[in-house]
Chains A and B, each alone.
Chain A
Amino acid sequence: MDTLVKERIQVDFQNRMDRDELENCMRCGFCLPVCPTYIQSGYDETQSPRGRIALMKGIVDGEIEPDEDIEQTLNECLGCRACEPACPAGVNYGQLLEEARDIFNQNKQHSLPEKVIRKTVFEGLFPHQNRMENMTSLLTFYQRSGLQKIARNIGFMKLFPETLATMEKVLPSTPTRKEMRSQASYYVHKSQPKARVAFFKGCLMDTMFREVNKATIELLQKVGCDIAVPDTQNCCGALHGHSGEKEKAKELAKKNIAAFEEVGADYIITNAGGCGAFLHDYGHLLHDDPEWSERAANFASKIKDITAILIDLDFHLTPLQMPEQVVTYQDSCHLRNVQKTFDEPRLLLQSIDGLHYEEMNDAARCCGSAGIYNIVHSELSMKHLDYKMEQVKDTAATTIVTTNPGCLLQMKLGIEREGLSDKMRAVHIVELLIEAVDRRTSV
């Protein structure tokens, strides 16, 4: 990093970082024992929330100059925000991290390949649902045309890093373009609806994890919701926000707010912990935008996870049944730490006859998926995953339940890496609930 860049970064830190928030960190260290990177690093202060905040504050105060080491430790944070509930002073670490990453990123000269990738992902792909559909249908073509078989037979995937190669194996079988487009935008409940909700369908959830979205709508209908699915909604922007592309995230947020204002529902339901948390944070994302701050706060106050509304509407009191099996639950970090939803999924699982629910040790510890962390920091991510799989194995569960697509893929990856794919599966909670409903109706 040359001196000029360092100076620019420092000026940006001074202008943009929230000094009160930095000052709020009382350095008590209560965040350390819950931080996955601190533990994984063998208790290295530089890899902890307290350490990272001290470094950010050090740059603002001019006590330390920004350098590659600091940029790296900020990037190696999983952003799981487990430190936030542990913090006595209530420091909003996630917001500090996003701002700091954005500053480093905006002042950085990306290499040409990285530029291309970032532009493709952040501008070309995720903001455009039709392109997400194209991507997914390409994947569907790959899976259904026999290409996948050929690729696997000739060992094509061996050319890629281990994580990506395994990832290829665990991707769900995706829908065709026709299937993706055949979605209604409004589901009216027959009798008097118990709640008027809008559904945030997400980009990955609506393409690659299409089945999960279908199951979510079905569940919402079953508990008596009137459901609107605004078709002008788009990607939540989490991926952008977490990767130092804040402006792009704001654009996406504004479009979503406008889209959901039109339908005026009581709640906005999400089924992806990561998206839910980012939507939940729109209030902060747009807090200094006079035209949008109030609208964003209003939008954010309506965000509710599918598991929370199911509990609200007593879904867990209806009879549910599954074949005898042990299940365990992997918390979505953001659902737990930002949306504070952690009892609800457990209650739902415990309400199903036949299921034996076994809480795993450190269920709240990040699995290492963390957006695109498992691709960008593959080696570190696998260390987090290995620890997680040890805890899963200790429960003797045959089903791992998750509430976020990233965690779902990561757990599938974990099962594959452990060679357990013939005796263990990973599912999204709504898939399991729909199974339980179907089973109940069939018996």
Chain B
Amino acid sequence: MLDKSIIEQFKEIVGEKNVETSNMSLHSYSYDATPGFRKTPDVVVAPNNTEEIAEIVKICNDHKIPLTPRGSGTNLSAGTTPLKGGVVLLFKHMNNILEVDEQNLTITVQPGVVTKKLIDKVEAKGLLYPPDPSSINISTIGGNINENSGGLRGLKYGVTRDYVLGLKIVLPNGDIIETGGKLAKDVAGYDLTRLFVGSEGTLGIITEAILKLVPMPEYKKTMLATYADIDDAARTVSAIIENRIIPATLEFLDQPTVEVVEEYNQIGLPTDAKAILLIEQDGPESVVNKDIEKIAEICKELKAVTVSVAKNEQEATALTTARRSALSTIARLRPTTFLEDATVPRSQVAPMVKEINRIAEKYNVKICTFGHAGDGNLHPTVPTDVRNKEEYHRVEQAFAEIFEKAVELGGTITGEHGVGAMKAPFLKLKLGEEGIRALKSVKQSFDPNNIMNPGKMFFEEEEKGE
């Protein structure tokens, strides 16, 4: 429990109504979107600006009070669960788009802006902000930056990291710093901007961001190819890129996913297909048409059973339905849904999917795999029930083996969700003892009192909370 006088100090800084201590509020901020993690914080504070945050951080640092920043709580690695209690810091008041700079093609935002709102704003001006995580309608840009979120357009356009030009940050000692700027080139000192992107709230608090925008592609086309053999689908992915075509989207669904999607949605997918690829290309119309034609050819050469190209927007939507309904269909199978993001080099997608299927059989759990084939980012998804302890244990074992395999194939334990508390036990697989030591020394130098989002990224035993 926090001392009453500290709560009073918070109230003086941000105003009484922005400090919540009711049981209801504390309970409501005790979780995020990650199954199996929950911990009640001591207080929930919603600051109005950077200066207030600096004051709050100083108090926390002086008293060694844990502090967890939180946007909309859509995190899938327990990154926004306040595992050590303390303060949950909300950005609900800091949700303004500060500037769209059409000369420099940048947008300056506060962290609480919902990503979709940002995207709508720039698209209205004929510009594109490419990172598009599936939670786009509710996730905040602050969360996207802290987790270095990806999305469906990652293959061609990159991820959040590639669009962050500058940040305003409150450091754990209360200092306010600014990194980068509206600059294409900047080599002044260490690249702190990149260090903070994906830092998962463990190094400081991002309170403003300058993001890069690109021109909106003028034309888009969508197609779907089905395969009787996973290897053919995987070879198609490699062949497309070998042919010097980078599609905007190159998505994959495996057979278990196709089966459940078809069973529930009846959209006419062949349930005997071992894999489906959803491909989109955007750009100048003539280029898109040429690319799509060539891709269709490659698909057929590599034994696609069916290849369909959408003739219009409506047909395109029909094709993307399969991919978009994957999660919601799997989520309806059982009470708990674990959505993971093991990632491998794209040449290893087929071996990885086969490994996942073997592991599913070994531990007798259902695993549906879909994801971003183009960038090797797979989402093995397990419908289960956390109340069934025995089964849950098998799910945990299966995931541990999946992460091991991913790393073995030259991949990583997380492609876009972050390490958080969920993947912390596996970070060593990817980085080794030495790597973790290097990371810890960075953490130590910024946050010697370990107040910033403690319990995340670095594994300690028994992190699961209440």
Contact = CB atoms under 8 A, between A and B. Distances in A.
Interface stretch (A26-34, A213-221, A298-306, A345-353): A26-34
A67 B138 contact: no
B31 interface: yes
B387 interface: yes
B24 A90 contact: no
B114 A73 contact: no
A88 B134 CA distance: 12
B289 interface: no
Interface in A55-105: 55, 58, 63-65, 67, 69-70, 73, 88-90
Given A29-B73, A32-B138, A58 B387 contact: no
A44 interface: yes
Given A29-B33, A63-B466, A64-B24, A24 B137 contact: no
Nearest to B24: A69
B331 A88 contact: yes
A337 to B, nearest CB: 16
B27 A30 contact: no
Nearest to A32: B138
B35 A26 contact: yes
A51 interface: yes
Contact of B33 (A26, A67, A69): A26
B24 A73 contact: yes
B331 A42 contact: no
A67 B90 CA distance: 24
Interface in B334-350: 335-337
Interface residues of A, number: 29
A46 interface: yes
B366 interface: no
Contacts of A69: 22-24
A2 interface: no
A189 to B, nearest CB: 35
A44 B137 CA distance: 16
B335 A23 contact: yes
Contacts of B33: 26-29
**Interface magnitude class on chain B:** 35 or more
A88 B328 contact: yes
Given A29-B138, A33-B138, A46 B24 contact: yes
Contacts of A23: 335-336, 385-387
Interface string A1-40: 0000000000000000000100110111110110000000
Given A26-B337, A29-B138, A64-B27, A45 B73 contact: yes
B106 interface: no
B138 A90 contact: no
Of A42, A63, A73, A89, the most chain B CB neighbours within 10 A belong to A89
Of A23, A51, A70, A88, the most chain B CB neighbours within 10 A belong to A88
Contacts of B95: 43
Nearest to B93: A42
Nearest to B34: A27
A43 B18 CA distance: 12
Given A70-B24, A88-B331, A30 B31 contact: no
A389 interface: no
B25 interface: yes
A54 interface: yes
A54 B28 contact: yes
Contact of A33 (B23, B34, B114, B385): B114
B327 interface: yes
Given A29-B73, A33-B114, A69-B22, A89 B337 contact: yes
A20 B335 contact: yes
Interface string A394-405: 000000000000
Given A43-B95, A44-B92, A67-B24, A28 B335 contact: no
A203 B335 CA distance: 39
Contact of B335 (A24, A58, A67): A24
Interface of A: 20, 23-24, 26-30, 32-33, 42-46, 51, 54-55, 58, 63-65, 67, 69-70, 73, 88-90
Interface of B: 22-25, 27-35, 72-74, 90, 92-93, 95, 112, 114, 116, 135, 137-139, 327-328, 331-332, 335-337, 385-387, 466
Given A45-B73, A46-B28, 13 more contacts: A23-B336, A24-B335, A26-B331, A32-B138, A43-B112, A55-B27, A64-B24, A64-B27, A67-B23, A67-B24, A69-B24, A89-B332, A90-B331
9 contacts: A26-B35, A27-B73, A28-B135, A30-B138, A32-B72, A55-B27, A64-B23, A69-B22, A88-B332
